[in-house]
Amino acid sequence: MSNRLIVSLSPHVHSGDSVQKNMYGVCLALVPALIASLYFFGLGAAVVLITSIVSCVMFEWLISKFILKREKLSILDGSAILTGLLLGFNLPSNLPIWIVVVGALVAIGIGKMTFGGLGQNPFNPALVGRVFLLISFPAQMTTWPVSGTVGYVDAQTGATPLSLMKWAIQSGDASVLNDMPSALSLAIGQHGGSLGEVSAILLLLGCLFMIWRKIITWHIPVSILGTVALLSGLLHYGVSDVYADPASVLCSGGLMLGACFMATDYVTSPMVAKGQIIYGVCIGLLTIIIRNWGSYPEGMSFAILIMNAFTPLINTYCKPRRFGEVIRKEAKK
Amino acid sequence: MNVILIAVIVLGAVGLVAALVLFVASKKFAVWEDPRIKQVSEVLPQANCGGCGYPGCSGFASACVKAAESGSLSDLNCAPGGQAVMEQIAGILGLQASAAAPKVAVVRCQGTCDVRPHGVEFDGAHSCRIQNMTGMGETQCQYGCLGEGDCASVCLFGAITVNPATRIAEVDESKCTGCGACAKSCPRGIIELRPQGPKNRKVVVLCNNKDKGALATKECKVSCIGCGKCVKVCEKFEAITLGTNLAYIDPDKCKMCRKCEEACPRGAIKAFNFPPRKPKEEALKVAEASKTPLATDAPKAPVATEAPKAAPAPVKESTVETPKQD
Amino acid sequence: MKTFSIGGVHPAENKLSAGSPIREAALPKQAIFSMFQHIGAPAKPVVKKGDVVKVGTLLGEAGGFVSAPIYSSVSGKVSKVDVALDASDTRRMAVYVDVEGDEWEESIDRSADLVRLEDRPDLDAKTIVEKIKQAGIVGMGGATFPCHVKLCPPPGEKAECVIINAVECEPYLTSDHSLMLEKADEILVGVALIMKAVGVERGYIGIENNKPDAIQLMTEKAKAYPQIEVVPLKVQYPQGGEKQLIDAVIGRQVPAPPAIPINVGAVVQNVGTAFAIYEAVMKNKPLISRVITVTGKSVKQPSNLLARLGTPFSQLMEECGGLPADTGKIIGGGPMMGKALISLDIPMTKGSSGLLIMNNKEARRAEAEPCIRCAKCVSACPMGLEPYLLSNISSQHMWEEAERECIVSCIECGSCAYTCPSNRPLLDNIRLGKTTVMGIIRERAAKK
């Protein structure tokens, strides 16, 4: 025989699933929202997204080649592309290019590679980049162009639904909310905001695609959205009109993007269904708290990052239901 | 002015309260520790290798102090520190150190790729123990070195490495402290801790194959076949015994005459750190007659390891029992 | 449709030899009988070089209670008693027999007539178990646990039902399937015998619904046995695992080790075992042959062979068109739990349910990448464990931690490694941890 026989321990077959398939699967799920963002924000969206993706991949390559000196480079496993895509989705479409590049450097450099690269990072890299930019460049990060603008530089900017909501609560004047777009137009995407956040329906479609392809499970998105809907419903109908109605809350800001794509990031979310639900509920709770009573209009990214920090703890205490456990408890009784 | 004063007073008060709490806590929750434990710890190498069987050096130190109460340190030995450290400990505790010969690890396998072909390929996690679970491993010998380097990964001193060319673990005697971690990690029990021997010299059967002769011959060209020739030449000292088709040289009885090395038809016995032999006519004849296929690599080995060892050896002539500390 | 409640995967079935009838393999020139054909103490050889043996002559007696005797499956002369490479890929004690003719022990009934339970009113539970023990029957699904041990419940435990494992959840394998199609009556008598042996009134035969013909046939034939019910199951790996099967069929979960199925009142036997029990009790025939699936994508003629134990795999391979040129891996058993063999010169044993040939492309594992913590292994694990965690702590030798995380519950089904997108050798590491932790537990028990 020309080649040697191979021995290995079982199993001898594999499902054929791979890191690439999962990562590109998520990218594919983002495509509808991507098209929507190009439609609403035009050239600006394209410039920001391309810059973000290219610089993320480039920084990953540079760092793993020259700083970590890895022999095997894995820039095409899709994770850097995904980080770039998600970071871009979290930025306004009129953001200067250099700020996007800085964001990518922080996302990949500090958010991911300092911890050892794929699978090691405690925080979602794209969110680390976004929050860094939000704190460092608050002015540029919070002036969103109104959707429908086509150009890149001279975009009109306007108040977002989220700042209206905050204003309503701070002033105690429910009539402010009359300026809000309807929940339907929020869901479709006709309002200002970061470029990937605007079309709640298309993001939800992507999420369903991922659940169907078994890339993610339903636990995290459902528990986040459910908690937010429940709490905002209680506030709106039970407490006061100054709190926006649940439909608008669900469709505005980065909530849908965060719940479907950022919080479900494999590396930084809990492993077990029970833990995922705790994680999702806590994110929903924190988001509502920050949105309504915090100093920033949007709380999703902070909520996710805070819960990322708790993920190891959740993993330690939430164990899956072991086979035979039920019986043992019954026997004890 | 007022602001500064308030700040100073508040901070001072906080500091005072904290200091008080710390003071009370340190007195109330103080744990008494035998001061000798600290003294013993200080002379230990602090490698935390676990070779002594205790969790790290501090564990060993408390075990020593505890043993001192019963009056004997005979069961305890710090392999990396060697006799010198044990004597220091004994001094601290006011006892006599028991004489323990320093040991080094010996890999009892010479089945390199050319004498023991890797007929199949193992595909899986790189660990000897995991490869061993497949049964035979990559070669036909179920006793030989697997070459995935479990021993190298547990060695804290970098003394054992797997040679990528031969796929056999090799010990660097100058670094080995004899802690025994490698021996415990080897799933096939190939690594043996043997006394360092005078001038680091020792004669060892470098094979672990317990198969019958015919089979062992097929499996590896340098395997021990249990023929017993070495036992016969060693009749006078009775240092060599034959186990299950495998010879073993008792290091305590071995007189380093190297007759067994000559007698072995398979080249499975190796003498470490001896000066090169004077080319005796008889010896050459034996070598040529018995091991034709191995004639090339067998004599080479002792010469190669001899060179670096030649320098430090004479220095230690006066105090043989002192372990080397490079 | 019923199935087990936690985890599971669905590998490509690849049942290439399904529907092909059972063919009888030719007698080998030399048969090798390993003394290690079962879990437990090895058999002790009772023959020596030069002894003349017949089909059904005792070669090795049981080495203890958890052990089984070994009989010759051929007639001829013992050529040597020596070590031989066996299906564990190690050399262990075996008896070599040079085959001459085909002479059977006279006590064996070789006729094909069906003997029903009613025909033998003299059989009581004790006799049945004794006959099974004498015949050297072991679990034929691959676990090779001596059968009589399972039929003797420990004191204080009472069996409530017998579950027959006809799931055959391993991809490629079809030996149980073909056996059911051809020997349905005999199997049902075997099931009735097991039920009588353990004294229960309820029997289930669990069959996955990718074998509709077998379900139909068995249901039809089982009408004559009101106590036996055929339970169709949803296709899901590892349904053939003992604990998973009990969960699927009667909805009870066996607790973590050291608990065993009898603690929830179930006795599980493979369908092949049921057939062997029929032959042993009714025909006085010890376990000397079994059905084996020889298969693989490159194999010319994937088949189900009825072969004598001790036949070398190389001969079975010849009968199915020879070893393909692009062979990369030879597996004894199925692809999920089978063992990679280092050579074809290995004799068939009681546990050989399949011989699977993989080509070069399939044989090699893809390169392992970093864990992306996707939790797919956690949702695939049928025992509710966290394979990623067990694998990590095992490779760092954190044995106490591993024990706390229930590593000994692992059934080594391979669902985790199968599903891992990063191709990590999860089960390799977990096995290492499991064996070590089990050793530690045994040591602790011994100290007490």
Chains in contact with B via at least 3 Cβ–Cβ pairs below 8 Å: A, C
Domain locations in chain C as residue ranges: 26-106+291-360, 117-283, 376-447
Mean pLDDT (whole number) for B57-80: 81
pLDDT averaged per 10 residues in sequence order, chain C, 448 residues: 90 91 93 93 94 94 93 95 91 94 91 88 90 93 89 87 94 95 94 93 94 95 93 93 93 88 92 95 94 94 94 94 91 94 93 93 89 93 95 92 93 95 94 94 90
Mutation site for A-interface testing, chosen from B113, B118, B123, B139 by largest number of A Cβ within 10 Å: B123
The nearest CA of chain C is from the CA of A207 a distance in Å of 16
Answer yes or no: same fold for B101-196 and B220-310: yes
Residue-level pLDDT at A44: 85
Q: What pLDDT was estimated at residue B304?
A: 40
pLDDT single digits (tens) B301-315: 444 444 443 334 343
Contact C335 A13 (CB under 8 A): yes
Q: What is the ipTM of this complex?
A: 0.89
Q: What are phi and psi of A123, to 5 degrees?
A: -115, 150
List the one residue out of A305, A315, A279 whose CA is nearest residue A122: A305
Domain positions in chain B are 36-93, 101-196, 220-310
Please name the fold of domain C117-283: Rossmann fold (3.40.50)
State residue A192's pLDDT score: 67
A and C: number of Cβ contacts within 8 A? 168
Q: Which two tokens stand for residue C40?
A: 């437990």
CB contact under 8 A, A8 and C340: yes
Q: Look at residue C194 in the predicted model and tell me its pLDDT.
A: 94
Other beta carbons within 10 Å of C94: 27
Residue from B113, B122, B132, B139 whose CB has the most chain A CBs within 10 Å, to mutate: B122
Say which DSSP state A259 is in.
I
Q: Chain C residue with minimal CA distance to B135?
A: C89
Using a CB-CB distance cutoff of 8 angstroms, which residues of chain A are in contact with residue B148?
none
Q: How many angstroms away from the CA of C162 is the closest CA of chain B?
A: 33
pLDDT of residue B308: 41
Asked whether the beta carbons of residue B121 and residue A4 sit closer than 8 angstroms, the reply is: yes
Least Cα separation, residue A18 to chain C (angstroms)? 4
Shortest Cα distance, chain A CAs vs residue C113, angstroms:
41
Those residues whose C-beta lies under 8 Å from the C-beta of residue C415, and which sit 6 or more positions away, are A11, C7, C8, C9, C237, C238, C336, C377, C380, C381, C382
Considering only CB atoms, which chain B residues are within 8 Å of C364? 123
Say whether C342 and B136 touch across the interface (CB within 8 A). Answer: yes
- What whole-number distance in Å separates Cα of residue C349 and Cα of residue C365? 27
Measure A284 CA to nearest chain B CA, in Å: 39
Question: Is B36-93 CATH 1.10.15?
Answer: yes
pLDDT over 70 at B318, yes or no:
no
Q: What band does B316 get if pLDDT is binned at 50, 70 and 90?
A: very low
B148 at C interface, C-beta within 8 A? no
Contacts of A14 in chain B (CB under 8 A): none
- Chain B positions in Cβ-Cβ contact with residue A8 (cut-off 8 Å): 122-124, 134
Number of separate helices (H) and strands (E) present in chain A: 15, 1
Structure confidence at residue B92 as a pLDDT band (50, 70, 90): confident
pLDDT tens string B37-56: 888 888 888 888 877 778 88
Q: Is the dihedral of CA C323, C324, C326, C331 positive or negative?
A: negative
Distance CA A125, CA A138 (A): 19
Residue A1 near chain B (CB below 8 Å): no
Which residues of chain A neighbour B119 with C-beta distances below 8 Å?
A: 4-5
Compute the nearest-CA separation of B205 from chain A (Å).
30
Fold type of domain B101-196: Alpha-Beta Plaits (3.30.70)
Question: What confidence score (pLDDT) does residue A194 get?
Answer: 80
Q: Which CATH architecture has domain C26-106+291-360?
A: Roll (3.10)
Which letter, b or e, does each residue of A283-310 get, where b requires 16 or more Cβ atoms within 10 Å of its Cβ?
bbbbbbebbbebebbbbbbbbbbebbee
The class that CATH gives domain B220-310 is: alpha beta
Pairing mode of beta strands A5-7, B168-171: unpaired
Contact A323 C382 (CB under 8 A): yes
Q: Which two tokens stand for residue A105?
A: 């450097």
Q: Which residues of C touch A272 (CB under 8 A)?
A: 375, 378, 386
Best mutation site among B118, B131, B141, B142 for testing chain C: the one with the most C CBs within 10 Å? Answer: B142
Chain B positions in Cβ-Cβ contact with residue A4 (cut-off 8 Å): 118-121
Please write down the HEC assignment for all residues of C222-233: HCCCCCEEEEEE
Contact C89 B215 (CB under 8 A): no
Report the candidate in A231, B148, A16, A136 with the shortest Cα–Cα distance to residue C365. A16
In angstroms, the CA A301 to CA A135 distance is 12
- Cβ-based contacts of A5 with chain B (< 8 Å): 119-121
CB contact under 8 A, C362 and A13: yes
Per-residue pLDDT of chain A (333 residues; tens, 9 = 90+): 447 899 999 899 999 999 999 999 999 999 999 998 888 888 888 999 999 999 999 999 999 988 888 887 777 788 999 999 999 999 988 889 999 999 999 999 999 999 988 889 999 999 999 999 999 998 888 777 765 555 454 445 556 778 778 878 888 777 777 777 777 777 777 666 788 777 888 999 999 999 999 999 999 999 999 999 999 999 999 888 888 888 888 888 889 999 999 999 999 999 999 999 999 999 999 999 998 888 888 889 999 999 999 999 999 999 998 988 765 445 444
* DSSP code per residue over A113-176: GGGTSTTT-SS-HHHHHHHHHHHH-HHHHT-PBPTT---SSS--B---HHHHHHHHHHHT-GGG
Looking at residue A117, what is its pLDDT? 87
A220 touches A280 (CB < 8 A)? yes
State how far residue C91 is from chain B, nearest Cα, in angstroms: 8
pLDDT band at B60 (very low <50, low <70, confident <90, very high): confident
Residues 5-34 of A with CB under 8 A from B: 5-9
pLDDT of residue A190: 66
Q: How many helices (H) and strands (E) does chain B have?
A: 13, 9
Estimate the crossing angle of helix A79-89 against helix A97-105, to 10 degrees: 130
> What confidence score (pLDDT) does residue A182 get?
77
* In the predicted structure, residue B325 carries a pLDDT above the cut 50: no
Alpha-carbon span B7 to B2, nearest angstrom: 9
CA distance A92 to A49: 10
Are A106 and A114 spatial neighbours (Cβ–Cβ below 8 Å)?
A: no
Per-residue model confidence (pLDDT) at position B66: 83
Q: Do A10 and C412 touch (CB under 8 A)?
A: yes
Q: Is the CB of C83 less than 8 angstroms away from the CB of B135?
A: no
Give the pLDDT confidence score for residue A156 in this predicted structure: 52
